[in-house]
Structure 1
């Protein structure tokens, strides 16, 4: 996969350094994010502030030899501002470094990925998925890859119907993708229509590192539409990507999923570990993790990638809550 890199320091950082193994690293370019740099240091820290908290996205995107310097510099900056530091969507290597710096680090969930080289929807394991896809096509679904600025009205119509169906729900930010802005040229967008009416779309963000490819990111559909809309669009995109030789399709981060005691680091908080398991079992009102994971498991992912949260001090419910506040969840 080839991505044209412009002279954007965040894009340069997330596409250049091994620390960008984070499959969601491209979300660092979301509008509304803030960045921290140090003079003479090659790299960037991406974060948002909410209340008295600084919520960092991923670890520092930095040259390996300057990672610790940038982390320490940002930590000092946060403390000087009178803020509490919490990092989310850290990868395993990030988590180990944060633990060595004295943070309390726990697994918070996982991301999921499918190797596309040998991927096929043939076989009995995908029978139900194929049936849903076929039903959507029988109902007249047409799928095209489009430029976002050429279909703004279509996207707005889908977004409006989707948000209306969610009642008082807010559109999530920060840890999910977006459409528009300077970074849009690097994303890919597939839109489905039935009888020329827009019914669903999926936006894909680039993924760098050893599992390079695309991430199934922002997706929305009209309520009460044909079954199989998302599945059909994603299957279409997979065939396009496979034809281009793309090695991996990622499904992004889902909190409270993929939890495993073997993923926890020494010094983690047992109480926070218990909370994550409780939210997996009973936390649908906070986030529909089981529904999200069910969709991802339809595609038989080959890789489960644990992701972590780091607290500067003891694990804190207030810090955890402000991660969701930074995401515009409430």
Structure 2
């Protein structure tokens, strides 16, 4: 393992070809580096299970060696022998896990905007235009915040109101989204929405490395007083600034249980898990609002829609699924 700081960021910047790779810097996530090849593996431990995030972050030819060393030294050779579950695996890494006997199922879909081709014109962006105009008429303004204590205290207040409004039964997929603090705090950019002198919402953006470099639309919060269109106005403001800075991509991240399709299921997929995930997608609004999240992302006419996967060592076991859900706060 390496300590939090520039070393981790350098490794991710070099090898994390993943639109959500910056989530490996979350404070409660462990970052491990092997001795055979350069690279990084991000994971959390839950009882007798290890849950990995995003696959092995290494050069293409070194991924197998890094994963094998991780399986040997951390999963099998840890405090007690464990099994590995890997979440948010990209399609290119699916054969790597299948070749080591993992069962791999589609978990959901991630969405990305090509900023060089983005335009507000056309019917696809009509809802965004409508909502942005409404928020502006209602007096919402957006600015990028800095790290002053006053700004952070206002964001803390938004978080508290957001949690109360959601209710005690609603949870977020904490392992698969970012955070405001932690080792990656200095890398993020935060855009806040204000109305009548009060902060009513914000969105954080984390860096994205790899073949489609840019920013990841990450953590979103709004109060019940935020007018319709507030978050769209925040995201459009950030998007336009990123594009002016020469940024190529804005990634909207993974929506679990969205875009599930037989065409994306690997040969090793568990049919029973496929059925279960599609039931969640269809009827599991209380577990996770997949349809609402997907609808928001589709409004931006993303150029890339990419399936992401979950891989289970030794087949899909109820305990592995349960511990994945526990780590993501889904139960």
Settle same-fold status: TM greater than 0.5.
Answer: yes
Q: Deviating runs (4+, > 6 A) in structure 1?
A: none
Specify the alignment match of 1:84 in structure 2.
Answer: 83
Structure 1 residue 126, shift from structure 2 partner = 2.2
Q: Does 1:39 align with 2:25?
A: no
Looking at structure 1, the residues matched to 314 and 183 of structure 2 have their Cα atoms a distance apart, in angstroms, of 36
Looking at structure 1, the residues matched to 5 and 232 of structure 2 have their Cα atoms a distance apart, in angstroms, of 36
Number of aligned positions between the proteins: 323
TM-score by length of 1: 0.93
What's the CA shift string for 1:31-86, capped at 9, x where partnerless?
01112222243112110011221110011112333321221122123123222210
* Alignment check: 8 A CA contact 1:148 1:180 kept: no
Specify the alignment match of 1:264 in structure 2.
Answer: 265
SS state at 2:269 partner: coil
* Structure 1 segment 70-219 matched on structure 2, within 5 A: 70-76=66-72, 77-80=74-77, 81-150=80-149, 151-168=151-168, 169-170=170-171, 172-219=173-220
* Alignment check: 8 A CA contact 2:112 2:250 kept: yes
Structure 1 residue 194, shift from structure 2 partner = 0.3
* Structure 1 segment 23-34 matched on structure 2, within 5 A: 23-34=19-30
For structure 1, the 5+ residue unaligned runs are 1-5
SS state at 2:142 partner: strand
Structure 1 residue 171, shift from structure 2 partner = 5.5
Q: Does 1:16 align with 2:14?
A: yes
Structure 1 residue 124, shift from structure 2 partner = 3.0
Structure 1 residue 127, shift from structure 2 partner = 2.3
* Structure 1 segment 242-253 matched on structure 2, within 5 A: 242-253=243-254
SS state at 2:76 partner: helix
Specify the alignment match of 2:52 in structure 1.
Answer: 56
* Structure 1 segment 254-293 matched on structure 2, within 5 A: 254-293=255-294
* Alignment check: 8 A CA contact 1:163 1:170 kept: no
Looking at structure 1, the residues matched to 196 and 232 of structure 2 have their Cα atoms a distance apart, in angstroms, of 19
SS state at 2:288 partner: coil
SS state at 1:185 partner: helix
Structure 1 residue 112, shift from structure 2 partner = 0.3
| Larger displacement relative to structure 2 (258-267 or 208-217) | 258-267
| Larger displacement relative to structure 2 (193-202 or 149-158) | 149-158
SS state at 2:259 partner: coil
Alignment root-mean-square deviation, CA: 1.6
Q: Does 1:223 align with 2:219?
A: no
TM-score by length of 2: 0.93
Looking at structure 2, the residues matched to 197 and 68 of structure 1 have their Cα atoms a distance apart, in angstroms, of 50
Structure 1 residue 170, shift from structure 2 partner = 4.6
Looking at structure 2, the residues matched to 256 and 279 of structure 1 have their Cα atoms a distance apart, in angstroms, of 7
SS state at 1:300 partner: coil
* Alignment check: 8 A CA contact 1:26 1:205 kept: yes
Structure 1 residue 317, shift from structure 2 partner = 3.0
Structure-2 change in CA distance of 1:185 and 1:58 (3 Å): same
Structure 1 residue 147, shift from structure 2 partner = 1.5
